[in-house]
Structure formats: C-alpha cells, structure tokens
Amino acid sequence: MPERLAEMLLDLWTPLIILWITLPPCIYMAPTNQSQVLMSGSPLEINSLGEEQRILNRSKRGWVWNQMFVLEEFSGPEPILVGRLHTDLDPGSKKIKYILSGDGAGTIFQINDVTGDIHAIKRLDREEKAEYTLTAQAVDWETSKPLEPPSEFIIKVQDINDNAPEFLNGPYHATVPEMSILGTSVTNVTATDADDPVYGNSAKLVYSILEGQPYFSIEPETAIIKTALPNMDREAKEEYLVVIQAKDMGGHSGGLSGTTTLTVTLTDVNDNPPKFAQSLYHFSVPEDVVLGTAIGRVKANDQDIGENAQSSYDIIDGDGTALFEITSDAQAQDGIIRLRKPLDFETKKSYTLKVEAANVHIDPRFSGRGPFKDTATVKIVVEDADEPPVFSSPTYLLEVHENAALNSVIGQVTARDPDITSSPIRFSIDRHTDLERQFNINADDGKITLATPLDRELSVWHNITIIATEIRNHSQISRVPVAIKVLDVNDNAPEFASEYEAFLCENGKPGQVIQTVSAMDKDDPKNGHYFLYSLLPEMVNNPNFTIKKNEDNSLSILAKHNGFNRQKQEVYLLPIIISDSGNPPLSSTSTLTIRVCGCSNDGVVQSCNVEAYVLPIGLSMGALIAILACIILLLVIVVLFVTLRRHKNEPLIIKDDEDVRENIIRYDDEGGGEEDTEAFDIATLQNPDGINGFLPRKDIKPDLQFMPRQGLAPVPNGVDVDEFINVRLHEADNDPTAPPYDSIQIYGYEGRGSVAGSLSSLESTTSDSDQNFDYLSDWGPRFKRLGELYSVGESDKET
C-alpha cells in the first residue's frame, strides 16, 4: 500500500510541476494542504495557508485564474477542498459575496460565499467526465451587484489507475497451416484501457501469454501471435487454446490486467500418403454377372482431409486387366472394381489384379517425404453358374430354292450347354417370328425343314428366331436369329411391262415405228433378263405389221405399208410371243392393240373415232368439249331458275288457313251465322294455342321429350279389347313427339252464302223422301263414291 500511495502522489504532482514551469510570470500557484488558491486584484496576494506570501505586481487589475485539479474516486468523511477564490477588493470586512455557477455548481461543487473555498461534495469519475467548466463572480453582499465581471475556470479530474484492460473482440479464433515454420504469424489481438493514456502509465499495456506455451508466442507491444514451434502436425493435435493477458502500468507490479482466449486451429496440408488398410483383398463373382456390376471395393486411408485426402485408383498389373476396371468414388474415397467383359468359369476360374491408390493433389513442399501412393493385391474368384445354352454362331444365314419340296431340310443350328454338367438341348421356333408356320425344326438336332411352299416373288427373306432350352432347367433359354433367303427358279413367264395401246396414223409411212414395248419377268436370274420376241406362227406373214428386237431388250412394232383407213378397220390386234432365257425357258403371249387415228401433217394424233368424220371440218376435239360444257352449264342454270320460281316460301308460323297438319276445306254453307250464339260456343272456332299468343311451329319438334314406352305385349285371352285400345290411345295422345304432331280442333261454324249449298246434315230435312244423293255423281268421281255410300244406306233402311 505505501508503494501504491506513492505512485498516486507522483501521478498527482507531476502535472502540477509541469504547469508551474509553463505558467506566465503573472500567475503563481501554491498548493498547500491539498488546496489551490485563485486570487485577483493588483497587486495580487496569494496566501499559502501558513506559508509566507509572495506578491506579484500586475499592470491590470482583474481575476487571475488557473486550473484546479481534483483526484477521481476520492472518498472521505468530509468534502474535499478543491481550491479557494479571493479578490483584492475584499478588505476582509465580509462585504463581498462569492458566487459559483457552471458545470456541477451546487451539485458536485460547493463554494463558501464568504471565504471562496470550493469543495467537491461527490465522488468523481474521470472516465465519465474529465473536466468541469465553472464561472466565478464577486458581488456586493448587500446589494448583490457585481463587483467584477464573471470569469471562467476549469476543474480537471485527475486520473488514477482504476480501469483494467479489456479485450472487446474476444474470444478470438485463428487458423494456421500445419507444418508451418517457426515464427509464422497467426493473428493479433487488441485490448483497450479506459484510463487516461496521456497521464501516467495507467493506459500503457503490455501483452503476455498465460497458457499456450511453448507452441505460440506474442509480441508484448503489438500483440502479434506467432508460432513458437516448427512443424506442428494437425494429425497429432488439431486445436490449441491460448490464454492472453494485457496488463497496464507498463506491465509493472500493481497494474491492472485483463485476459482473453484465442483458439488456434491447424489447417490441413497434404503431408500424408494414402495407405491401404490391407495388402490383399479377396472377392468372388458369379460367371453370369451382368457387365458393369460392382464386384468389390478397396480403400486406401489418408490421414489428411478434404481434397488432400482424395485418391485415384488404377489397375496397374495382373491377368485380368482386360476384364476388370476400377473407378474412384469421390464421396466414399474408395475404389470400385467392376466387370468389363463376360466371365467364363469353364475357361478361367480366378484372376489376380494389382491396384494402386495415389493422391490427386500433391504439395511439392512435402514431395521429399516419399511417393504419395500405395499398392494392394486383389484376387477375384469366378464362381460357376448355370448358364443358358450357347449357339455355335451368333446368327445363321440359310438359303432354299422356292421350288424346294415340303419337309426338305433347309439348314441346321447347333447349341451346347457351357456348364460342366452339359445338359441336353431342345430346339424350337419362336412362332411370333413365323406366324404362317412356314418352317419346322427338329427339337433334338436343330434341323430346319420346309413346312409350306415358298414363293420368292412374294417374299425373298424370312427371318425367324430359334430357341434353345436346357432340358434339365427350362429357365435357361437362349435365342438366335436365323435369316432364310429364298433362291429364285424360273417359274414365271415374261409379259408386257404395262398395258400398251398403240396409235397408227392414217397418213403414216411404211417402216414407221408405231410402238416400242418392253417386257418384265417376276423371276430374278443371276445373269439378268434376256427376252425373245416373235409373232404367232400364223401371223408371221402379217401384211400390216412387223417387229424388231432392240438392244435394250425392248421391241419395236413397225408398219409395213401406208394407207390405213379407220373407216375400213379401226382396231388391229397383234399377238406377240415373249420368251425368257431360263432353264427351262418360259413364254407367254401378249396382245398389242393398235388403233388407227387421224393425225395432223406433223403426225400429232387428233381423233381415233370413226364418228369424227361427220364433225365440221376445222373444229378440234378441245373446242367441241368446250361447246358441250357451255350447253350443259346453260341447262343447269335454266333448271335452277325454274325451280326457284316454282318454289314457295312457307312461313315458320302455322296459321289457320295454312296448317298442313289438318285437311281443312272451307264451304260457303249457310248456317246459324254469328248471330246464333246459343247453338254452340264461339270459342271453339279459335285455335286454343293462338289465344295465348303461341302458334305451333312446323319446322321444329315440340319441346317435350318422348318417354320411351314399353313394347306392345300381345293381348291375352279374356282382356277387354276396348280398354286395351283406350290405353294405347291415351299413350299416343300423350306422346307429343310422334308424327304428324296433330291437334284436334272442332269446327262448328260453317259460314253462309255458299253457292253449292251445305253438306252438313245439321240443317237437313228429316223426311226420307228428300234424301236423294244421285246428284253427287255429277260432281266427280270422289263425290260419286260418297253418293253410292249414302244410297246404300238408304236402301238398307228400306229393306
């Protein structure tokens, strides 16, 4: 404690001494008993409270101010005396009153208005407020009139070391590569001290490491952390905890300190090679495994992490390099061995591979540590599996003549069981490839025979599939395609390539080529087609035409003379025999039709009909067709015009006099007239639908939908026929969709003024003598039949 008090006193008096040296000659400060005196006046006297006074002469009267100092964090039973105010106007008669105002006046600082003593009544903290600006004034005690102008002075709070250093950004984290050299910079830290950095050593910090040695060191002034050991290995220890201390007072005894932690993580570098977990790996695989299947995995461990641990795998030696391959799995960091080509247990039962794992990313700084790779041996054992039959060839090509006999052998396929047990094989044809069942196969020896006749001209190739099945295990099946080519034989006679029709001009010249024809043969001889043309034996001396064979295997027909006349003979038929060069040769007779036509002078055919002679000279066939087309068009226009004239547009709304659904005939018969309103109801003359403003449409059906009726059942014995008819009548009346959509109307009014008289019996006489219907026969055949009916009725009554 004595040492601590001495340091505080030293810190307190050092600025006062400096201020003493730098003050002007007119100012003098004499701190006595921890008090400071500020005086004004001319001359100014400053009393040192028990010490002798010094008098400084001034040229101008007024307040002479100086800074006052007070220690922070000072606490005691009594207020601390900061200083004293005095003026030379004060004769000591107590007529002067001192007034203090400004920062903290009355709350922090208190002045004795008689003596001018200033006291601090509260504990001060420099870190909260470092100085206070106050105003002092001397006034008359009685009148409170200012005796001097007010003047300002400053009270500074003097710092003491009461704040420890703090690491505001801690705790810290840093990384450094493993295997770094000595003195590699890791990071730096910073601490702050709230004390005054100018006054004393309260804010002078010194850094040190409390924990983390001997791995790391720190610069005392700059706080830079560095590695203290070389070649630190991440694989040995990855993370380090360093405790750092910052101490003020320059690190001397009695200073305050603060600590923080720094976590240092070593980052990985590729300083370790891959290493297989075992030097020999064993795998087994069935011989029928699918290509590309993973057989096994090998892995080389690497103590490094991330990309530094990535390894590539290769097969560098062994007897199975052509059958197997290895790929690298980037996620699992292992090598996957896959099958590259098919295996055969009967051929080879085991394979040996030499596999290498090498780092992908190599750090050249550590290349001297040796090769970053490792090797291992892989033994693969092939297991026997029940394999399907194997054909002697992957495909078969067979040939057969189209005239081959039924059940003749076309060819043979063979297959064997590759297993040691060697199961017998049964052969069959996949009938999906032979829908017409044209071929058969012997199930035991695989011989393919012909089942139906073949025709090369219909199909040259037949592709079928042969199935081989093990007898002992029907699930083992193999298939092979068989292509059967049908060979040609000369079984088709040649004929004209198309239907030829030749035209011969009447004014043609002898030797003129009338037509050139060619032949075709459905057969396909190896040396190509060669045709022979000839006329029938009885047509060899034909006086009209002759033939000539051309080099291109075609035939020209020539006219022997001129002067052909279509009036005498319009058409000539020329039979021609066509023979091929097959063995044996085949021939056929084709007939060429030659028409005699009228031609122009340059040989252009104009007409080949005999009737053409009666046509006017100078009109061509095109002109005649055009004239005929115009006539037909005019006739069509006339017919359409007449039809439109006769057509009557019927209105959509049905009216009384146009309702085609009733056969209404009006008669000018005399009746009761409109005056007779008692004989019948006049409303019956009106259309019930028209009353409501609705008239039926005859171009559409009623809106009501037809309800399907049950079929008419036969009338059983004993059923009332009248009731049956009434039921059917009711159904018909309630079916609005049934044609002809009629409605029943009553016509009681016949009109009056008819010349022919009335046919109604309402007003007829009741005497039998007056009923004579012979006159109806004069009205026509229709009324004659009506008269006969009435006459028969009268005669019946008399009888």
Q: What is the pLDDT of residues 648-683, one digit of tens each?
A: 555 544 455 544 455 555 555 555 555 555 554 545
* pLDDT of 22 higher than 70: no
pLDDT given at position 368: 76
Helix (H, G, I), strand (E, B) or coil at 37: strand
The token pair at 451 is 């089942």
- Which residues are paired to 245 by β-bridges? 208, 259
Nearest to 298 by CA among 331, 329, 339, 324: 329
pLDDT band at 306, cuts 50/70/90? confident
Contact 34, 81 (CB under 8 A): yes
pLDDT given at position 210: 92
Please check whether the two domains, 67-158 and 390-487, share a CATH topology: yes
pLDDT band at 437, cuts 50/70/90? very high
* pLDDT of 10 higher than 50: no
In this structure, which long-range contacts are made by residues 584-590, counting pairs with CB atoms below 8 Å and at least 24 apart in sequence? 584/490, 585/490, 586/490, 586/491, 586/492, 586/493, 586/494, 587/493, 587/494, 587/532, 588/493, 588/494, 588/495, 589/536, 590/495, 590/496, 590/519
Q: What is the mean pLDDT of the chain?
A: 77
Helix (H, G, I), strand (E, B) or coil at 424: coil
Query: H or E element: which one contains 598?
Result: strand 587-599
pLDDT given at position 316: 92
Q: What is the DSSP letter of 366?
A: G
One CATH from 3.90.1150.10, 2.160.20.10, 2.60.40.60, 3.40.50.720 for 275-383: 2.60.40.60
pLDDT given at position 275: 93
Fold (CATH) for 172-267 = Immunoglobulin-like (2.60.40)
* pLDDT of 528 higher than 90: no
CATH number of 67-158: 2.60.40.60
Nearest to 684 by CA among 757, 743, 753, 762: 743
Least confident of 250-259, 404-413, 434-443: 250-259
Domain ranges of the chain: 67-158, 172-267, 275-383, 390-487, 495-607
One CATH from 1.10.10.1100, 2.60.40.60, 3.40.50.300, 1.10.287.3610 for 495-607: 2.60.40.60
* pLDDT of 481 higher than 60: yes
For 314, list phi and psi in degrees, rounded to 5: -145, 150
Q: What is the pLDDT of residues 595-634, one digit of tens each?
A: 888 888 777 887 786 444 434 444 566 778 889 999 999 9
Which residues make Cβ contacts (< 8 Å) with residue 214, sequence separation at least 6? 228, 229
pLDDT given at position 693: 46
Nearest to 656 by CA among 749, 732, 730, 729: 749
One CATH from 2.60.40.60, 3.30.450.40, 1.10.3210.10, 3.40.50.300 for 390-487: 2.60.40.60
Contact 771, 795 (CB under 8 A): no
Contact 407, 452 (CB under 8 A): no
Residue at 225: amino acid letter: I
DSSP 181-219: PTT-EEEE---B--S-SSSTTTT--EEEEEESTTTEEE-
pLDDT given at position 364: 83
- E strands in 392-438: 396-401, 409-412, 415-416, 425-429
pTM comes to: 0.44
How far, in Å, CA of 782 to CA of 787, rounded? 9
